[in-house]
Structure 1
Amino acid sequence: MVLLASFDNYSASVMVDNKPISLGLWDTAGQEDYDRLRPLSYPQTDVFLICFSIVSPSSFDNVKAKVRIPYPIPMANSLTFTAQWYPEIEHHAPGVPIILVGTKLDLRDDPEVREQLRQRKMSPISYEQAVQVAKEIRAVKYIECSALTQRNLKSVFDEAIKYVQSAHDEMFWGLY
């Protein structure tokens, strides 16, 4: 089987606190077929945005399954691990902040979407559920947004940039 890398790259110049910032985004594939390629995009990464759809429980489950941190089992001498992204991130980009992003916020209360989910005995992901997972994966922030309505969309990138700026400021001031 031959795999073609399906990583989409985007760049933009944005203003944050009246300063021009050059923003580069790499949208990497989450499928297992790309496990060996995905880490190639990690060097020099300043922040990870891990996204899921608020109206797709399977998308949310993938965040939990692929990013959850190893944790000790009480009364046992072992750790439980779940697969891949977090270990990849820790290995290739230790200490880089993670922001968990819930997308399609505009559809959470959409009656048609809620009915479709209800028929499958599912419901949209609540804010509280997402915050809990953000804590479990040690994300520095959880943000919900909608590309359709633009609600909180700019905030996602502003927050990411602010975390990067503060990390760079700490490194700079730590030299003295």
Structure 2
Amino acid sequence: MLPLDKMVKQITVVGDGNVGKTCLLVSHKDKMFTDEYVPTIFENFAEEIYVDGNLVNVELIDTAGQEEFDRIRLLAYPKTDVFLVCFSVAAEDSFENIVLKWIPELKQHKEDLRIILVGTKADLRDDDETKDRLVLSGKSFVTAKKAEELCKHIKAAKYIETSAKTADRVDEVFEEAARLALQERDFWVESDDKRCCQIL
């Protein structure tokens, strides 16, 4: 077996378009935030992450959520060690699509799924304009309770709520993903009630 500093773990970010996948990566990698939305087709970044005293070489894959890029996105799945499945806490549709689209797609192309459920744009919970928009449209924020229930339902390892704008919990997302990627399969296969925990 290769030593940890020679192993490369692949972490792939998936979710609907405009939920903040690229912003999450940029906030982590470049320590900056931009709210300009430019649809991603396919990008990858290499970096080193220290986890529990170990240096882990990681390849981060940013994918497009739009249907027209399905074929390109699917190319990343077979070699992925951990998926970051993202939704916006201010967009119920993106949350519902975790079950309707993303989990079925992942299961179709990858066995032994290792997932971290990520709620993005948490800063919008305190944004008055977003609150008003949701009220007028008859929608609401995705609650942490609903997200935790979904986490257990899809057998994700963790639910982490984060904000690329404030950088809150951003680095933890990738540290937890790297830690999960290192776990042996025998350790990972546990009873469902122990599978998901919540990090807010």
Fold match by TM threshold 0.5:
yes
Root-mean-square deviation (CA), in Å?
A: 2.1
1:112 and 2:129 equivalent?
yes
- Code of the aligned partner of 1:21: V
Structure 2 unaligned residues grouped into runs of 5+: 1-39, 189-200
Identity %: 42
Question: What is the match of residue 23 of structure 1?
Answer: 58
Displacement after TM superposition at 1:170 (Å)? 5.6
Structure 1 unaligned residues grouped into runs of 5+: 68-85, 172-176
Q: Residues 94-134 of structure 1, C-alpha deviation per residue, up to 9 Å, x if partnerless?
A: 00211110011111122221111111111111101111222
Output the TM-score relative to the length of structure 2: 0.67
Select the structure with the greater relative contact order (CA < 8 A; seq sep ≥ 6). 2
Displacement after TM superposition at 1:169 (Å)? 8.6
Output the TM-score relative to the length of structure 1: 0.75
In structure 2, the residue corresponding to 1:158 is in which secondary structure?
Answer: helix
1:99 and 2:134 equivalent?
no
1:36 to 55, 62, 71: 71
In structure 1, the residue corresponding to 2:126 is in which secondary structure?
Answer: coil
Question: What is the match of residue 151 of structure 1?
Answer: 168
Q: Residues 54-95 of structure 1, C-alpha deviation per residue, up to 9 Å, x if partnerless?
A: 11122222223213xxxxxxxxxxxxxxxxxx3442243200
Question: Aligned pairs, how many?
Answer: 149
1:130 and 2:165 equivalent?
no
Q: 1:166 to 1:65 in 2, by over 3 A?
A: same
1:139 and 2:131 equivalent?
no
1:63 and 2:98 equivalent?
yes
